[in-house]
Amino acid sequence: MGKRVYESLPDMAKARNRVDKPNLIKDEAKVSLRLASFAAGRHYLIKTFGCQANVRDEEIMAGYLEKAGFSKAESEESTDLVIINTCAVRENAEDKVYGEIGKFKANRRRDPQFILCVCGCMMQEEGVAKKISDSYPYVNLIFGTHNTHRLLDMLDEHLSRHKDIVNVLSHPGDIIEGMPSARLDNSSAYVNITYGCDKFCTYCIVPYTRGRERSRQKEDILSECRELVEQGYKQITLLGQNVNSYGKDFHDGTSFATILEEVAKLGIPRLRFMTSHPWDFSDEMLEVIAKYPNIMKCIHLPVQSGSTEVLKKMGRRYTREEYLDLVARIKKKIPGVFLTTDIIVGFPNETLEQFEETLSICEEVRYSSAFTFIYSPRKGTPAAKMKDDVPDEEKKARFMRLLKVVEETTNEASASLLGKTIPVLVDGPSKKDPNILSGYSEGSKLVNFPGPAYLKGEIVELKIIENHCHYLVGELLEDPILIKANGVKKALLEEPDVKEYLRLNKQIEENEEIKALQEKIGETQKKLVASLGDAKVKAEYESLREKLDSHPLIQNRESLREGVENLLKAVSGGLS
Ligand code: 5AD
Ligand code: SF4
C-alpha cells in the first residue's frame, strides 16, 4: 500500500509515568461501512507470542475482527489479514517475531490487498516499531498494547487513506470495557482483573510495555464471570501481572481476596488466578483459597531467585526467609497445595553461591513445576545497565543444574498422584493421536488418557496409572457416554431459559387457582363425554380451557417453550 504515517512512537521515559485513577472507557466497537464491506468474505489469523495477557488480547482482537465481518482463517495461506501479537519479556521471544513477519511477504506478493499488522508488548520498546517499519515495508499497521481497542478504527484509516500506520502510545494506560471477544476455548476462560504492573522489578520490561497497575471495576469482572458460568464454562483463570494487588488503586479496602471470593461464589467448577507476587500475598487470600473447594489448590508464586542479595538487586521486595515463611504459611493452611514458580538464572553478577541458594530454595519448597529462564537484558530496564561478570557458558551450565533439581521435584509431585483417582478437566484430543485426550489436574499436571473427543470440556475422574514426570497417564473409570450425558444434563439445567421454564413449571404445579381450574376441566371433560358432546357443556369446557391457557404463569411458561425445544434439539444433535 501507500506511504507510512507515524502517528506516535513509544517513549520509555513516558512509559514510567504513574498517575492515579485511570480513565474508564466504554467502547462501542463501531464498524464503518467501508471496513464491513472489505471484511465480508475475508479471513483473519492472529499469531500470539508470550503470556496469558497476550492470549486474552488475541481473543479481544478476534472479537473486533469478527464484529467487522472477518472470519477465522484455516491456514496461513488462506488468510487475508494477519496480526502478529508480540512478547518483549525475553530476547528469544523477540527473535521469533522477525522470522514470523518475514513469512508473510509471500501473502502480500499474491494479494496486494493483504493486510499485515504487528502489535503487542515488543512494539512498546523504543526503536522496535521504527526498525520493523524500516526493514519490513510490507507491514501495514504497527500498534502497541494501549490501543488494541482501536483496531477497527486503525484498519478503517488504513483502507480510507491508503496509508500504512505506526501508532504506539506510551502512557499509563486506561481501562476499556465493552470490548467484544471471540474466546479460543469454550470450557476454560481467562478474565482480566488488573492490567499493567507497578512493581518495576529491575530486570522486567512489563511495567514499561503494559503501563501502570490498574484494577477493573468489581461489577465488570463479576458480570463477565457470571456470563461465563451461564455459558457452561468449567474454568475461569483471573489474570493480572500481580493479581494480589487487585483493588489497591480503589483506596477503599477492596482486595484480591474480596474479588476471589465473589467469583468463587458464582459457582464456576474451577477457579484459578495468576500471577501472585509473594510481596503482597495476604492471609485473607489464604483463608479464601482454603475455604472454597472450587478454588484450585495450586498457586503460582514466582521466586525468581533464592538469594536475598540477588532478590534485592532484582527489586523483588522480599528476602529468602520471607518467601520461605510465606510458603510455610501456605502449606500449613492448604495441606497438599501444589506450588509452581518462575526462576531467573544468571542475573548480572550472580555468584555461584547465590545461584546455589536458588537450587536449595527449590529443594526446600519442592515445586510441582517451574518455568526457568536465563536472564535476558531488556533495554531501558535498570538491570540492563548493570555490569555483568558471569559468562554465558557459566549461565548455561547453571541453568542445566537448575533444570535437574526442578525435574526432581516435578517428578516427585507427579509421582504423588500415581494410583490415585483425580478429577481432570479435558482440554481435547492430543495433537499427536486423536484417540488420546489431554487434560489438567487440579495441580495443573498434564494427564493423557484414551477416550472419545466428545469429552472435551468435561471434568472426568481418572485413575493415574503412569508417571512420565512432565505428564501422567490415566484411565477413565466411567463409561464416557454416561459422563457426557450427565454433563449435558447439568449444562442444560444451567441454561437460563431451562431454569426459568422449570421454575415456572413448579409454580404452576403448586398454584391453587390453576389446580382448581384443572380439576374443573377434568370434571367438565367427563361430563362432555357422557353428554355425547352437548353444546352447552362444550362451551363451558372451552371457556375453562381458555381461562387456564391465559393464566399469566402458563403464558410465561409457554413463551419459553420454543427456545427450550430448540436447545433440546441442539443437544440431541450429536456427540460433537
Ligand atoms: N530475563 C529473563 N526472564 C525474565 N522474566 C521476566 N523478565 C525477564 C528477563 N529480563 C521472567 C520472570 C517472570 C516471567 C514471566 O518471565 O521469571 O516471572
Ligand atoms: Fe515484571 Fe516484576 Fe511486574 Fe512481574 S512483578 S510483571 S516480574 S515487574
Strands 235-239 and 270-274: parallel
| 203 ligand 1 Cβ < 6 A | yes
Distance between CA 402 and CA 408 in Å, rounded? 10
Strands (E) in 9-111, as ranges, are 24-26, 43-48, 71-72, 81-86
Query: Cβ neighbours of residue 397 under 8 Å, at least 6 residues apart?
Result: none
pLDDT in tens, the chain (576 residues): 568 899 999 998 889 888 778 899 999 889 999 999 999 999 999 999 999 999 999 999 999 999 999 999 999 988 999 999 999 999 988 889 999 999 999 999 999 999 999 999 999 999 999 999 999 999 999 999 999 999 999 999 999 999 999 999 998 889 999 999 999 999 999 999 999 999 999 999 999 999 999 999 999 999 999 999 988 899 999 999 999 999 999 999 999 999 999 999 999 999 999 999 999 999 999 999 999 999 999 999 999 999 999 999 999 999 999 999 999 999 999 999 999 999 999 999 999 999 999 999 999 999 999 999 999 999 999 999 999 999 999 999 999 999 999 999 999 999 999 999 999 999 999 888 989 999 999 999 999 999 999 999 999 999 999 999 999 999 999 889 888 888 788 778 878 889 899 999 999 999 999 999 999 999 999 999 999 889 999 999 999 999 999 999 999 999 999 988 888 887 766 565
Ligand 1, atom 13, lies closest to the CA of 342
| 409 ligand 1 Cβ < 6 A | no
Let me know: does 84 contact 47? Beta carbons within 8 Å: yes
Query: Pick from 207, 54, 163: which is nearest to 119 by CA?
Result: 54
How many Cα neighbours within 13 Å face the side chain of 323?
27
| 302 ligand 1 Cβ < 6 A | yes
How many other C-beta atoms are found inside a 10 Å radius of the C-beta of residue 84?
Answer: 26
Strands 369-374 and 194-195: unpaired
Distance, CA 277 to ligand 2 centroid (Å)?
8
Ligand 2, atom 5, lies closest to the CA of 199
Q: Which of 54, 89, 199, 205 to mutate to test the pocket of ligand 1 (most atoms within 8 A of CB)?
A: 89
DSSP state of 188: E
| 242 ligand 2 Cβ < 6 A | yes
Ligand 1, atom 12, lies closest to the CA of 342
Please, what sign has the CA dihedral across residues 45, 570, 497, 264?
negative
State which ligand 2 atom lies nearest to the alpha carbon of 241: 6
Distance between CA 50 and CA 120 in Å, rounded? 10
